[in-house]
Amino acid sequence: MGKHKKWLVSLGILSTLVFSGCGREAESATAGNNEDAETVIVGTGNVYQPFVYLDENNELQGYDVEVLKAVDEKLPQYHFQFESMEFKNILTSLSAGKVRLAAHQYAYNEERGAKYLFGEVGYNNYSHHIVNDASQGEAYQTLDELAGKKVFVVPGTEVAAILEAYNQENEDQIELVYTDAAGEILVKGLQNGTADAAVLTQYDTNKYNEQFNVTLQASDETITNDKTFFVYEKGDEELQKAVDGALQELIDEGKLEKLSEEILGADYTK
Taking only Cα atoms into account, the Rg of the chain, rounded to an integer number of angstroms, comes to: 19
pLDDT in tens, 246-257: 999 999 999 999
Residue 26: band (very low, low, confident or very high) from pLDDT cuts 50, 70, 90: low
Q: How far apart are CA 180 and CA 89, in angstroms?
A: 20
**Is the pLDDT assigned to residue 6 strictly greater than 70?**
no
Cβ atoms of residues 214 and 187 within 8 Å: yes
Instruction: Measure the CA–CA gap between 167 and 156, rounded to whole angstroms.
Output: 15
pTM here is 0.78
The answer to whether 125 and 268 have CB atoms below 8 angstroms apart is yes
Asked if residue 220 has pLDDT above 70, the reply is yes
Map out the domains of the chain with their CATH numbers: 11-125+228-264 (3.40.190.10), 128-218 (3.40.190.10)
pLDDT in tens, 78-106: 999 999 999 999 999 999 999 999 999 99
Cβ pair 62, 49 in contact under 8 A: yes
pLDDT at 5 over 90: no
Q: Which three-class secondary structure state does DSSP give residue 175?
A: strand
